[in-house]
Each structure stands twice: as C-alpha cells, then as structure tokens.
Structure 1
Amino acid sequence: MSSTPAIEFDRVSVRYDRLPALEDISFSIPSGSFWGIIGANGSGKSTLVKTALGLLQPYEGEVRTMGFPPAQLGQQRARIGYVPQYAELDFSFPLQVIDVVAMGLYGKIGLFRRVTREHRRMALDALKRVQMEDLADRQISELSGGQRQRVLIARALVVQPALLILDEPTAALDHGSAEGLYSWINALHSEGEMTIILVTHDIGVVSQYVDSIACLNRTLVAHGRPKDVLSGDSLEQMYGCGAVLFGHGEVPHMVVSARDADRQPE
C-alpha cells in the first residue's frame, strides 16, 4: 500500500462568487482507508471532493491528490473513480447496462474511440464486482433506483481505480436500499487496497462502516475515528443545534435535538 496520502488538504479555502464555501481546511486521507465526509446541506461536502478532483480551484491553500496537484494528475487521473451526486445521464435513453458501464472507459480510451470486445469484458468484470452481471444486457431504464446506483458505481470501477469517490450515492434511495448499498460499499473496501471516500449526511449508518470521518460546516469541525468525533459538540457545530446520540455501544443510530432528548425511551 502506498505511503503517499490519497488526498491532502493544506489550509484550503474555496469561494463561490466571492462567498466562502470552504475555509482553512487541513487534513489528509491515507491511502487504502475508508472515509466518510459528513455535514448538513450546504456545508461544503461536495465542494471538498470537487476541489480534490480539480473541478474547483481553491483561492488559498494547496490540494494534493495521489501525490499531485489535481491539475497535474495526468495519467494518474485514470486511477480515480467518481460517482457525482447528480448523474449526468438520461435514464430513459435506450442504453444497455453494459454500455453505461463502458462509458467509464472514455477518459482512458478517448470519447470517440470504438468500444472493443476487450472493453466490454472489462465492463462485465466491473458489473460482477457490484453483483449486476446478470443484468448486463438489460435497458438502464428498466432498473430500480438501487440497481442504477450500482451500475454507476460499476462505471467508476471499470478503470480499476485506486481512489473511489462517492458523492451522496444513496440520495434517491429508500432506507432499506440505502443501508444495503452502504453494506455493499464496505464489502468492496474490504476486497483490497482501494481508498474510498463516501460523502453523506447519514451519520448513523455510515459511522458503522468507515474508518474515519471528516465533519464539515464550511470549516473542518472535527476529523478522526467516528467514536472520537461524533460528539454532541461536533453535531452542534455542524447542524447549529444541540444534539444527543442514541445507539448501541459506540455506533450512533439516532440524532435528536437536546431539548427532545429527555423524551426518548431508556
């Protein structure tokens, strides 16, 4: 496993139209780890990962992704898989699942290059990793929300990435489907040395799986192991209200405002 951090943020600040989106962010994500990025809507979670990918530029500070400034990633960029919060894909368009996955190779083979038999084999291998190979020839429009999300993850996996970034992958899923996807992502991480970064607002579920968490509210509120950073103080700084965690052992399952805490059953 590489000793070079997957991502390093050094006093990074980002603005949108002169308004601060992130301020003075400093922390690093070790290679091979599984991190959760959590915070309220508008806290800067998506901004953080887009900055790491070079899709946004900091006005202060420095980012290094896989040892390079994002603009200098070059061929290393092909080793990054990214599933954005909003997929730029029309699911009603007549495309087979395997063709959607093969789109993930365009950054490697070129947008207008013909997809070969070998590329389709690679796409099928990626579908096997998400347990969707039996649906390879199905139209993408026929799949459920959870199945489509797995296909989009397979599209990111087809390049065999060293770094996989998932931005709110369960946003459009019901609770049962979301929990199943989280469990599957955890199993994917246990397969090898891939670094996985999961952006989410789902504190209770994600804290069961990730190695470490970064809590954002435009600034870096806290980062470290879930049991160390998921305190009432951190939640108050992230969400702007007092909070209490209820759960079993070290795993939080419910977050309520402090004023409602005394109404919870023992």
Structure 2
Amino acid sequence: MDLLIALAAVVLLMIGLWAWQLRSGRADWVDAAWAACIGGLALAYALLGEGAVEKRLLVALVTGSWAFRLARHLAVRLAGHDQEDGRYQAMREHFGTRANAFFFVFFIGQALIAWLFALPAWVVANDPDSTLGPAVFAGLAIWAISLGGESLADRQLAAFRKDPSTRGQVCRRGLWRYSRHPNYFFEWLHWFSYPLLALGAPAQWLTWLGPVLMLLFLYRLTGIPYTEQQSLKSRGDAYREYQRTTSPFIPWPPRD
C-alpha cells in the first residue's frame, strides 16, 4: 500500500471526525480514533504489503491486537461520559473562539502521528524474509507481555474507580503500586516488538520510530504531564505523596 495514500486516508477520516465534533462538542473521541487509525493502517499493510505472508500475519496480530484493544478501551470510557474529557474542555477554554480552528489543526496532526506510528507495521509487512527466528519470537514475547500488562493495568484502574469506597483516593492497587503510569509503560514497551520482528529488513531503522516517539509523547508531551496535572487538581496532597513514593514510569518498588 502506498504510504501517501495511507496518509491521505487517515487525514480524510480525521477531517470527518473534526466536522462531527463541531455538532457533538466531543473532540475527545479523537483519542479512540487515533488508535483505530493505526490498527486500520496495519491491517491494510498486512493485506496489501509485498512482504512474506508470515510477516504480514504478524503485523495483523501484533499491531491489530494492540491498536484495537486500545481503541475499544478508550471508546468504552468515552461512551460512559456525557461530557467531553477535561483535557479537551481546557483546550476549548484556552482557545475560546479559535477553538474549532485549533482542533482542525490538532486533528490533522493526530492523523500524521497515527501514520508515523504505523510505519513500523509497514516495514514488517514489506519484509521479504519469511524466517521466524529467535528475534521474531523475542518480539512476540515483548508483544504478549506488553499487551497483558497494559490490559491488566487498565482493568485494575477501572475496578478501583468503580469502587465507591475509593472515591477521592489514589489508586495504589496491583501494578499501580509500582508505577504511576503502568499502562503507559507497557504501551511504550509494545513498540520494541517491531525492531525485532523486522530485524534485517529493508528500512528497519523506521521501526525505531515507535519506541522513540512513544517515549517522547508519553513522557514529555501528551501523556504523563497532562495526566498528572489533572490528578493533582483532583487528588491534591494525596497525589503529591503518590508522586514522592512511586516511580513515574518504569515499575519499581515504592519508596517509604
């Protein structure tokens, strides 16, 4: 599949979603759409790629399972709220009358980012080597660990939030005892699958865009900074104590 056609497809989809949010006032659905775009591109690359069938099947399995699990998780969470997520409400307030113009640029940017994050899947899907050696199995092991860890972290947090007795408290259950953002950590870990799955493939260097860009976005841009800002507003000193004792990203035994 031509990469420019893939980019045009996700841009058009995001423009359509932007037009929908003009009426619905729910720009936050771009999060679920972003993950679904990566999954959709991965499946298209798996179907239309010119690589070995084995590698194309791996793309469908590894990228598809990660992307659509995340998209479903986000969609269920968004559907459970009548109002737009607080991050997007803050953006609307900040930009005022220019909010819709800002969101147009923002949605186009999300399309570009989704396209970039799907490039590792494109590399694997066009790898002509059908050999399933140790590197491939190591990549599959990382995929399985990351998918299981992220799913477990999401379930633990969801169960904590549903418990009426924990209202106003900070989740320290399970993986959240060892990391303030275990879901983000395992999401990042997932991207190390691709350099192993595509070891020796043409343009293999593109597979390193996944872990590098994901770390940048999660740790410095859209992930941890905004999430922690919201948590400090809602949890105050309890979250400050959580910050003092708990690793921000990589799971680690908590400090006393």
Does the alignment reach a TM-score above 0.5? no
Normalised to the residue count of structure 2, the TM-score between the two structures is 0.27
Flag the structure with higher helix content: 2
Normalised to the residue count of structure 1, the TM-score between the two structures is 0.26
